[in-house]
């Protein structure tokens, strides 16, 4: 399959191609020569398999994700629908406040749906959310996702959202976090409180004092 290099992530390359007359994204996890080969192979295999299953499972929980067409196990590659649009990371830089709040609230509901289904995303940053031209949000990059999520795992997921906002969207982080948590809580209901307080607790850890 021919295509153009679309994005070079930290662990993969995304090629945009056409397959059976539809635009597809081919995500392949490339070798990391600095890792021990045993570890590298295991990770690429595990994460490819996991991402493939999770893209489908997440959709069953109500989160828009690209449809998977096939998986090339030899190259640890996944062929999925190409989602036209812009990363939430970019949109957040130029959107007005009202739009920003609406998008972040939507992002919050998506993570809420995942958590309600006992799944954590594992890398819930604004570069892993695509906003399509209709304003609909899609989630990608499920290689670090996990099933059977505990409150601790969900707390970590929210902590990672918080972290992504403070490092990447520092000038708008308060607006974005408030809107995100509003959306999240609206889906999680009473279960949100325990996860939120765990998130705060996690922020304080990792420091030895």
Ligand X SMILES: Nc1ncnc2c1ncn2[C@@H]1O[C@H](COP(=O)(O)OP(=O)(O)OP(=O)(O)O)[C@@H](O)[C@H]1O
Applying CB under 6 A, the residues found at the interface with ligand X are 7, 9-12, 14, 25, 27, 66, 80-83, 87, 123, 127-128, 130, 140-141, 143
**Of the two residues 15 and 192, which places its CB atom closer to ligand X in the complex?**
15
Q: Scanning residues 42 to 71, which ones bind Mg ion (CB under 5 A)?
A: none
Phi and psi (nearest 5°) for 110?
-65, -45
C-alpha span between 88 and 190 (Å, rounded) = 28
CA gap 62, 196 in Å, rounded: 22
| Separation between Cα atoms, residue 69 and residue 19, nearest integer Å | 10
The only residue of 48, 65, 126, 128 in contact with Mg ion, by rule CB under 5 A: 128
User: Which residues contribute to the site for another protein (CB under 8 A)?
Assistant: 8-11, 32-36, 38-39, 42-43, 122-125, 127, 144, 156, 159-160, 163-164, 166-168, 170-171, 202, 204-209
Q: Assign residue 20 a region: left if phi > 0, alpha if psi is -120 to 50, beta otherwise?
A: left
Residue (16 or 89) nearer to another protein, CB:
89
Q: Any catalytic annotation for residue 171?
A: no
- Shortest distance in whole angstroms from residue 106 CB to another protein: 20
Structure tokens at 102: 């609406």
Angle between helices 173-188 and 151-168 (to 10 degrees): 160
Query: Where on the chain is the footprint of Mg ion (CB under 5 A)?
Result: 128, 141
């Amino acid at each position: 399959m021919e295509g153009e290099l679309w994005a070079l992530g930290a662990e993969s390359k995304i090629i945009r191609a056409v397959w059976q007359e539809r635009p597809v994204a081919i995500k392949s996890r490339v070798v990391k020569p600095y890792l021990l080969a045993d570890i590298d192979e295991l990770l690429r295999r595990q994460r490819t398999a996991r991402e493939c299953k999770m893209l489908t499972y997440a959709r069953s929980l109500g989160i828009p994700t690209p449809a998977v067409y096939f998986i090339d196990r030899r190259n640890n590659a996944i062929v999925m629908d190409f989602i036209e649009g812009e990363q939430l990371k970019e949109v957040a830089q130029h959107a007005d406040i009202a739009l920003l709040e609406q998008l972040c609230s939507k992002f919050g509901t998506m993570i809420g749906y995942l958590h309600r289904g006992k799944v954590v995303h594992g890398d819930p940053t604004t570069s892993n959310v695509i906003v399509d031209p209709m304003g609909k949000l899609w989630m990608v990059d499920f290689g670090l996702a996990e099933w059977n999520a505990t409150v601790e795992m969900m707390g970590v997921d929210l902590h990672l959202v918080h972290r992504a906002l403070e490092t990447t969207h520092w000038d708008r982080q308060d607006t974005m976090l408030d809107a995100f948590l509003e959306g999240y809580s609206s889906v999680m209901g009473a279960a949100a409180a325990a996860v939120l307080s765990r998130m705060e607790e996690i922020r304080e850890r990792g420091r030895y004092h």
